[in-house]
Amino acid sequence: MKKISDTLKIINEKKLYPNIGIVTGGVSSEPEFEVNGKRVLSFCSGNYLGLANNQEVKQAIIDGLNTYGIHPSGSVLISGTLAIHRELEKRVANFIGNEDAILFATSTMANMGVIPALINLPLTSLLSFFRVFFKKDGAIIFSDEFNHATVIEGCRLAKAERVLYKHCDMNDLESKLKKNRSKRKLIVSDGIFSMDGDIAPLKDLVALAKKYGAILMIDDAHSTGVLGKHGRGIMEHFGLKDGVDIIVTTFSKAVGVVGGAAIASADIVKYFRVSAKTYIFSGAFLGGLAQGILKSLEIIENDKIRRKKLWENTNYLKHELEKAGLNTLKSKTPIIPILIGEEKKAIGMSNDLFERGILSPPIRWPAVPHGESRMRFTLTPNYSKKQLDKLVTNLTELGKHYHIIR
């Protein structure tokens, strides 16, 4: 307990403990709501298509609760699954573009279940031969250095050597693959990177995975609903039909609900059902939420206006920020960061923005490297041009005050 107290003391002394606001009015997925009694304009939501407060989706969930109850109250392998679970799994697999899918309570649990399952073969006599065989050459995970924390945790749970390659640097990845030709190999990358808003070079990743006999897994949490002509994610964005073995996605961003899924071939999904511990030892997915997600996917496929407005807002804000002299890094998506640098400057700007009625917590170490603190703005179709202009005006003024704009 003393170590915990000492740790908290250091965090507080260095003013690193985050200021967690309390939503006291309105809905936090909308552009404006109340935090700590103050009305704010927020750019913190991952509600990319504005569906998190959609009346049709909410009604579908309510109807689902009345039909299926609050919770199945058991794990799938013991209590079985619901017909609507299988309907959603097939629907998600078809939407993303593969044979089958497996549902998880969150995409965090998907990453922390799927990655170890791919590496750690089960302790059963049936697979003892394979365990002995694979033990000879081991396994190795190649992970982009900027991958999401849930991917990193999934890699840590896997009993394998972990190798980081430089962010989106395919030359660095290939040089490291060459040194490990004899090992089982898993390449893991985000689709859209949540801190910088850039997109993984998927075609190059697919080519390297084929060339060196590696399994390729993509965390497409920020891409689903956003990238591609129909919002099917990074594979549609690059015009690929295959080449990615496993895609993990979330229902808590563009889909606007909650939960996660891993999409893969029928055999791989069948294997995950008896090897992914976060699936085996968790309660079954909520039937009501499954019904809400199905409605949300229907809207995503049929309502092209939402995605069009999202990209209009994205392109407008990025252009205006760069015109003002702010560094938006390599963002090509509705995640738009501006580089601040020093942690104290980022905290100061965030506090000043809040006083001006704009909510934007600073992104700082350990979420990003020391000295690379930033503000990060995520967009939805629901912002007006007036709201975006308010953000630009205040960032320009504060950028000059903090010497970020010269």
| CATH label of the domain that carries residue 376 | 3.90.1150.10
Do 47 and 62 lie in a common domain? no
User: Which residue range forms the structural domain that includes residue 343?
Assistant: 23-53+304-401
pLDDT at residue number 148:
95
Identify the domain boundary among 302, 332, 347: 302
3-state SS assignment for residue 32: strand
| Boundary residue ending a domain (302, 332, 367) | 302
Distance CA(254)–CA(231), nearest Å, equals 9
Do the domain assignments include residue 9?
A: no
Give which of 249, 291, 300 is closest to 51, Cα–Cα.
Answer: 300
The residue with greater pLDDT, 89 or 132, is 89
Q: How confident is the model at residue 6 (pLDDT cuts 50, 70, 90)?
A: confident
How far is it, in rounded angstroms, from Cα 24 to Cα 38?
8
97 & 206 share domain: yes
Provide the token pair at 389: 């202009």
Phi/psi of residue 34, nearest 5 degrees: -110, 130
Closest CA to 195 of 388, 373, 42: 373
What is the rounded average pLDDT of the residues 174-197?
94
Mean pLDDT in residue range 25-31: 91
Same domain for 120 and 229, yes or no, is yes
Judgement on whether residues 171 and 320 belong to the same structural domain of the protein: no
Span 209-229, pLDDT tens digits:
999 999 999 999 999 999 999
User: Does residue 45 sit in the same domain as residue 129?
Assistant: no
Confidence tier at 75 by pLDDT (50, 70, 90) = confident
Predicted local confidence at residue 8, as pLDDT: 85
Asked if 46 and 133 sit in the same domain, the reply is no
Could you tell me what percent of the chain has a pLDDT over 70? Answer: 96
Which range has highest mean pLDDT (38-47, 175-184, 200-209)? Answer: 200-209
Please state whether the predicted TM-score (pTM) of the whole model is above 0.95.
no
- 23: number of Cβ within 10 Å: 14
DSSP string, 117-170: HHHS----GGGHHHHHHHHHH-EEEEEETT--HHHHHHHHHSSSEEEEE-TT-H
- Is the distance from CB of 50 to CB of 380 less than 8 angstroms? yes
Buried residues in 24-43 as b, exposed as e (16+ CB within 10 A): eebebbebebebeeeebbbb
Q: How much is the CA Rg of the chain, to the nearest whole Å? A: 22
332: in domain: yes
**Cβ 337 vs Cβ 377: under 8 Å:** yes
What single DSSP character describes residue 213? T
Are residues 216 and 204 both part of a single domain? yes
* pLDDT over 60 (residue 136): no
Q: Among the listed ranges 65-79, 143-157, 387-401, which one has the minimum average pLDDT value?
A: 65-79
**Residue 117's domain is classified under what CATH number?**
3.40.640.10
Evaluate whether residue 321 is within a structural domain: yes
Cβ atoms of 340 and 368 closer than 8 Å: no
Q: What are phi and psi of 265, to 5 degrees?
A: -65, 160
> Do 264 and 125 belong together in one domain?
yes
CA distance 297 to 57: 10
The average confidence (pLDDT) of the chain is: 92
In this prediction, residue 131 carries a pLDDT of 47
Mean pLDDT of 335-344: 93
152 and 75, same domain (yes or no): yes
If you search the block for the tokens 């503000």, which residue do you land on? Answer: 375
**In a shared domain, residues 134 and 69:** yes
Encode burial over 306-322: b for 16+ CB neighbours within 10 A, e otherwise: bbebbeebbebbbebbe
Residue where one domain finishes, among candidates 262, 279, 302: 302
**pLDDT score at 126:** 45
163: confidence class by pLDDT, cuts 50, 70, 90:
very high
Distance CA 375, CA 371 (A): 13
Q: In the 3-class helix/strand/coil scheme, how is 230-274 assigned residue by residue?
A: CCCCHHHHCCCCCCCCEEEEECCCCCCCCCEEEEECHHHHHHHCC
DSSP summary character for residue 283:
B
Evaluate if residue 132 carries a pLDDT over 90: no
> Cα separation of 356 and 397, whole Å?
11
Chain-centroid distance, C-alpha 17 = 23
Q: Give phi and psi for 116, each to the nearest 5.
A: -60, -35
**Contact present, 326 and 395 (Cβ < 8 Å):** yes
- Give whole-number Cα distances, 239 to 43, 83, 289, 396, in Å: 30, 32, 30, 38
- CB hemisphere CA count around 129 (13 angstroms): 1
Q: How many domains does the chain fold into?
A: 2
Write down how long the chain is: 406
Give the pLDDT confidence score for residue 94 in this predicted structure.
Answer: 97
